[in-house]
Structure formats: structure tokens, C-alpha cells
Structure 1
Amino acid sequence: MRAFFSVVLALAAVVLLAPGSASAHPLGNFTVNRYAGIEIAGDRVYVHYVLDLAEIPTFQVGDRVRSRAYPARLADELELSLDGKIVPLRVVERRVAMQPGAGGLETLRLDVVYTARANGTELAFADRAFADRIGWREVTLSARDGARIDAASVPSSSASDELRSYPEDLLRSPLDVSVATATFAPGDASGAPPALRAVDARKHQGGGFEALIERGDISLGVLLLSLLVAMFWGAAHALTPGHGKAMVAAYLVGTRGTPRHAFMLGGAVTVAHTSGVFAIGIVTLALSQFIVPETLYPWLTLVSGLLVVAVGASVLRQRLGHRRAASHDRREDGRHDHDHPHDHSHDHDHGHHHDHGHSHDHDALTSKGILGVGIAAGLLPCPSALVVLLSAIALHRIGLGLALILAFSVGLAATITAIGLVAVYARRAFSRLSLNGRVVQALPAVSAVLILAVGLVITAKALPGVL
């Protein structure tokens, strides 16, 4: 029992004290970060090349990158030209370091020193390794041992300390430099190769959702508590920017949704997010040679945006149609009342007709909009959930991983549902206030326009990533 409560306290600490981002790699779980430090030392050119792989690429290609034969293959992706002629790079030294990452996965750092003879005065360099992967790319150029650089297109010192310490102010817009040019004068004697420094252990951030998969033996009580913590992280994640919170609220207002529709939306979000995690996981595991997982995110964002545009246009069309129908009915009522004094029966019939149209509106809402809005809100999987899935596979805890991901998705959907319920009840309260009738009647149409605008913004943000 004492052990159980100690684990409970530990898990509570995870919830209350862990940082918002549990990624052990400061640039994110998907990144492949590259650095090329070019040194002209006497009559030699040295290229100190560094690969810093985050958790997911390490999971995918780590075995290949840390093989002894890999530096020679990597040299084919690095082009060094002297006076316009491409010169071959010879491997001088190689070093591999594995470090703990998020969710029990590892990160990988590869240091390789290449060399060539400095025959010339004009240098050009291009790094084409992992060109399709996101991450930090940096090139520096310096001289020593009698050599001199007259002009260079890149700095002589590394902003990231050779991928050891990334500047906080550049994490959201990392360097993207993969080419360099310079004019130089070589020295007379051969300079020694650069010494590879020891790699400091990266501080492992063990908190957050990913930490749940790392626990040792888990009893039933701890399992249930872990699922609750996963739900907490999902709910907290839904409060971060994105996930269609404004869209969901506007949709339920614009379509006169009910609490039942809010819960249905939550269920759709759960299914969409869980399915998205599994789909990206399958791509990461089985199709990584053909599809880079992170390149799917802009496409998923585009699909989400187009879904929102379609839903917004549909809701706006329905609202405008209902307003025209209501205006027509009022004109017909006026003429009918003038011609026939027995209007009580007609009013009753008209009221019945109105109720039927309102029911039809809810049916249309359920069949045409809820699934689209739910998919749009949950389609983009959280990278932390993907890390948990890959960790579960690596640690042979697939059942636990799937349960945690589902609980995370339920927590995310719970927040979306709560926002939807607030929107539904706020609309009802607003409609009861003694306000201008036109203002109340305009709310659904305004909400539809807001949905359409949100969809257009999402689509516009996705286009640069897919074009």
C-alpha cells in the first residue's frame, strides 16, 4: 500500500510540476538537425559534420546512422568544391552518442570529421543530407594554422555551439543554412584535424504525457491513475492554440446545436485524433522510406481547413435559406390573415410546420456537419501521442500505449465538448435576453461566417507547406 501511494504521489507530481513540453529535444520530436563546421587548416580543409536526431528519426533510422559504414555514405550528400572542382571527402574520425529522450526513446548524435587537400582559393560547400526533414541547419567557416579567409558567406562561430545548445530565441525559427562560399588563402603546412569534444548529457525532461509509458511494473490502481493523468494531459493539450475551439463553438451556435450534439462532437474528435495517431504511426513504422511523417502534417492541416470551409459554407447556406423562408412565411401570414378571419387554425398549422423545419435542421446538422467538424478538430495528432505509440512498440507495451493514447484523446475531446456545451447554453441564455430581435436572429449567420473565416485561415496557413 505504501508503494502504491508513493507511485500516486509521483504521478501527481508529473501532472502538477512537469513542464508543458515533455520533448527531450528542444526543437521537437521530429527534427533532424545538421551542422557543418568547415576549417581551413594550413593546406588542408576539414569538415566537422554533426547530425543531431530527435526521438522519432532516431527510432526510424538510428541503426543505419550509427553504423560504421554510414559516414562514407553520408559523404555522398556533402559537396565540397575548390576552384569549381568537386573534391572527395575522406573520413578522419567518427563518434556516436545516444542520449535518453522522451517516452523512453533515445536521441542520437553523430560527429564525423572529413578532410580534403586545400588546392585552390575559392571554396563552395553544399549539404544535401536529410533535405526533406525539418530541423536546424547551420554552416560555419574558419581558418587556422597559417590559412586565411578573405571573404565568406557564413559566420566563423556556431550559434548553437555545434548543436550542443540551441538559442532559445531561435527555437521557433531555426537556422536554415545549407550552403557556403568563400575565398581563402591556404597555409604552407598541414594543420591537424579538429578535436571532437565530449558530448554533454542533454537534460532529460521526464515529465508530461510521454513519461507515463516509462513506468516499471504497473498495478491495476496505478494503471487507472495513469489513464486519468493521460486524460488530464489531453484536456490540457486541447487548451493550447488550435484544435478548433472557436470553430466548434461557432458551429454549435450557428446550427442551433443541443448538448447532445456537443457530446457527439466530442466523440468524433476522439475517434479522429486516435485514428490520426495510428495512421501517422503506421507511416513512421512501415512507410518511412517513401513518406516523411512530418510532411503529412501540412496536408492534414489542409484537409482540416477545407473541411471547415465546407462546413461553414453549408451552415451559412442553411442560415440564409431559413431567413428567406421565414421572411416569406411572414408575408404569407399577413395576406392570409387579411383574407380569412379564421386564422387560429392556420396559425396552429404554421407553428407545426415550423417545428418540423426545426427538426429537419437538427437532422441536417447531425448528418452533414458533426463528423466534418469533429474530424477537423481532431485530425492533427499530437506529436507526444505519437512518441507514446512508438515508445510502446519499442518497450513492448503496446496495450498500455494504446490505452494511454485513447485516454489522451478522450481528455482532448472532453475539453472540446465542454467548450461546445458552454456555447450551446450561452446561445440559449442570450436568446432569452431582452435584446433586439434582429441581433439574436443574426447570431447563427454570424457564427457561420466565423466558421468559414476560420477554415480559410487554416487553409491559407497549410498552403505553404504543400506547395
Structure 2
Amino acid sequence: MIQALFEYQREIYLAVAQHLKSFATDGNWLALLAVLPMGIVFGAAHALTPGHSKTLLAAYITGSQVKLSRGLLVSLALSLTHISLAVLIAVLALPVVSIALGSVGRAPALEALSRGLLGLVGVWMIWRALRGRHQHHTHEGEAVGVMAGLIPCPLTLFVMTFAIARGVPWAGLVFAVAMMAGVAITLGIVVALAVLFRKGSVAIFDRFGSNAARISTLLEIVTGLFLIGAAVRQFLAA
């Protein structure tokens, strides 16, 4: 399955490059706009590949008490940050992306920052759960989404760099917006599944007489430990 996704991703790169090359030649905006639905599909398929903080997003939604609507805002914040950061790096030519063999397109410093911040969120969630407080700050979820999205999207980096090299940066930006919509759709589905899983877990434990508050505390502690573990793993791998 993963291999098939990577093969499809390779086809995505080639197709996007071809469309941008054609636009650079004839400047036909109507033709470019006509392939935007393809850009959304590209973004959705690309978000299925490893990365994009899907597991961390699902863990946070499962362990927190956020509703579906708030969870979708978290996924939107993640998608927006993930794509926008790649656009800024390409446009400003920021030297934060690795070009080393085997890690082309990665931003190790930003990955470490993202996971480190999420690790601190994990510590906060455990502390809050142990104190019996499950209230969330108004924009906590969106902040988590921004932290998780601090890793730039490699596909967007490729599209923007290719478009800039061809002298059509605005075409690359249009594609980036379409891909962001696709990424947001995939992450939104992840959020919906996480919310369903949380509700199902609570219902199952409730049938066995478990207290809802205790279940919430347990889920929040497990999520906090998961986020801390992801941060430790990131720093050990650096």
C-alpha cells in the first residue's frame, strides 16, 4: 500500500511539472484553472503518504475533549501551516531545507521544533489530567495544529521551486492552494475517525461501568505520553 502511494506520488510530481511547464510556455490561465481539481486530488493523495502528522493529530483529537467542529479547525490549521511554510521557504529561498542525500526536502530543524513543542503539549496534557482539569484554552487546538504543521510540505516545495524556476510563481501558488485543500480533506477525515474512535471507546468503557471522567483522564494521559514519546524519538534520531 505504501509503495503504491509512493509510486502515485511520483506520478503526481511528473504531472504537476508537466502542467507548470505548459503554463510557462503558453500562459493559458483557463487551462491551469481546469486542472485545479487534479491539484486537490494530488494534495489528498499526498497527505496519505507517511508524514503530515496524521498520527499525532489523531492522538490529540482522541485524547482531548474537542468536538468535531473544533477538531476540523485543528486539521485546517495544520494544513495551512504545512503548505504555507513550504511556500515561504521557496519564495524567500530560506536555507532550512536539507539537500543531503536521502533527506532532500526535509527541514530537520523545523521537525525538531515541531516535535519539541508537541512534547511540551504532551507534558501539559498529563499535568492537566492528573489535576483533574479537562478545560481547554480557547485556541489550544489550533495552536497544536500550527505546531504539528511546522514541517514544510515537500510536494509544495517542489511545485513552488519548479514554478519559480520557470518564471511562473503565481501558477505554483495556485497549485499550492489547491493542494492545501486536498491535504485538509484527508486530515479532516482523520479527525472525524479519531472523534468516532473516542466516542466509541467511551461508550464501550461506559458499558462496563467506568466513570466518564476517568476515561477522559486516561485518554489524555496516554495522548500526552504519546506526544512526549514522539518528541524524544525525534531528538534521538537527530
- Range into which the TM-score falls when normalised by the shorter chain: 0.7 to 0.9
1:426-462 deviation per Cα after TM superposition (whole angstroms, max 9, x unaligned): 3224333452243753355334433432443344334
Match of 2:176 in 1: 405
Amino acid at match of 1:281: A
Once the 2 structures are TM-superposed, how far is the Cα of residue 396 of structure 1 from its aligned partner? Answer: 2.2
Structure 1 CA distance, aligned partners of 2:217 and 2:44?
A: 28
Match of 2:22 in 1: 215
Match of 1:232 in 2: 41
Contact 1:301 1:380 in 2 (8 A): yes
Amino acid at match of 1:375: V
Contact 2:42 2:179 in 1 (8 A): yes
TM-score of the pair, normalised by structure 1: 0.43
Match of 1:61 in 2: none
Question: Which aligned runs of 4 or more in structure 1 are off by greater than 6 angstroms?
Answer: none
SS at match of 1:215: helix
Match of 2:225 in 1: 452
When Rg is computed on C-alpha atoms for both structures, the one with the higher figure is 1
1:71-97 deviation per Cα after TM superposition (whole angstroms, max 9, x unaligned): xxxxxxxxxxxxxxxxxxxxxxxxxxx
1:123-169 deviation per Cα after TM superposition (whole angstroms, max 9, x unaligned): xxxxxxxxxxxxxxxxxxxxxxxxxxxxxxxxxxxxxxxxxxxxxxx
1:373-426 deviation per Cα after TM superposition (whole angstroms, max 9, x unaligned): 212332212222112111211222222111111221221122112111221133
Amino acid at match of 2:115: G
Structure 2 CA distance, aligned partners of 1:464 and 1:304?
A: 14
Match of 2:87 in 1: 278
Structure 2 CA distance, aligned partners of 1:458 and 1:263?
A: 24
Match of 1:26 in 2: none
Amino acid at match of 1:236: A
Match of 2:7 in 1: 19
1:13-39 deviation per Cα after TM superposition (whole angstroms, max 9, x unaligned): xxx99933438xxxxxxxxxxxxxxxx
Quickly say closer, same or farther: Cα 1:451–1:271, change in 2 above 3 A.
same
Contact 1:311 1:452 in 2 (8 A): no
Structure 2 CA distance, aligned partners of 1:18 and 1:305?
A: 24
Contact 2:79 2:183 in 1 (8 A): yes
Give runs of aligned pairs for residues 44-443 of structure 1, distance below 5 A. 206-207=14-15, 209-216=16-23, 217=26, 218-220=28-30, 222-282=31-91, 284=93, 291=95, 293-294=97-98, 297-322=107-132, 361-362=135-136, 364=137, 366-368=138-140, 370-433=141-204, 434-438=206-210, 441-443=214-216
Which sections of structure 2, spanning at least 5 residues, go unmatched? Answer: 100-105
Contact 1:254 1:446 in 2 (8 A): yes
Contact 1:234 1:409 in 2 (8 A): yes
Report the aligned-residue RMSD. Answer: 3.1
Contact 1:250 1:447 in 2 (8 A): no
Contact 1:305 1:456 in 2 (8 A): no
Once the 2 structures are TM-superposed, how far is the Cα of residue 248 of structure 1 from its aligned partner? Answer: 1.4
Quickly say closer, same or farther: Cα 1:299–1:395, change in 2 above 3 A.
same
Structure 2 CA distance, aligned partners of 1:308 and 1:18?
A: 27
Structure 2 CA distance, aligned partners of 1:319 and 1:292?
A: 36
Which sections of structure 1, spanning at least 5 residues, go unmatched? Answer: 1-15, 24-101, 104-205, 324-357
1:299-358 deviation per Cα after TM superposition (whole angstroms, max 9, x unaligned): 1111111121112122222222227xxxxxxxxxxxxxxxxxxxxxxxxxxxxxxxxxx7
1:209-235 deviation per Cα after TM superposition (whole angstroms, max 9, x unaligned): 444423344453x43442221121211
TM-score of the pair, normalised by structure 2: 0.78
Quickly say closer, same or farther: Cα 1:399–1:314, change in 2 above 3 A.
same
Give the number of equivalent residue pairs. 224
SS at match of 1:240: coil
Once the 2 structures are TM-superposed, how far is the Cα of residue 261 of structure 1 from its aligned partner? Answer: 1.0
Q: Identity percentage over the alignment?
A: 29
SS at match of 1:247: helix
Greater relative contact order (Cα < 8 A, sep 6+): 2
Quickly say closer, same or farther: Cα 1:397–1:377, change in 2 above 3 A.
same
Contact 1:301 1:459 in 2 (8 A): no
Match of 1:99 in 2: none
Amino acid at match of 2:67: T
1:251-307 deviation per Cα after TM superposition (whole angstroms, max 9, x unaligned): 1222211011122112211321122112321453xx5xxx46317711111111112
Structure 2 CA distance, aligned partners of 1:411 and 1:214?
A: 22
Structure 2 CA distance, aligned partners of 1:265 and 1:426?
A: 17
Match of 2:102 in 1: none
SS at match of 2:10: coil
Contact 2:97 2:108 in 1 (8 A): no
Amino acid at match of 1:398: P
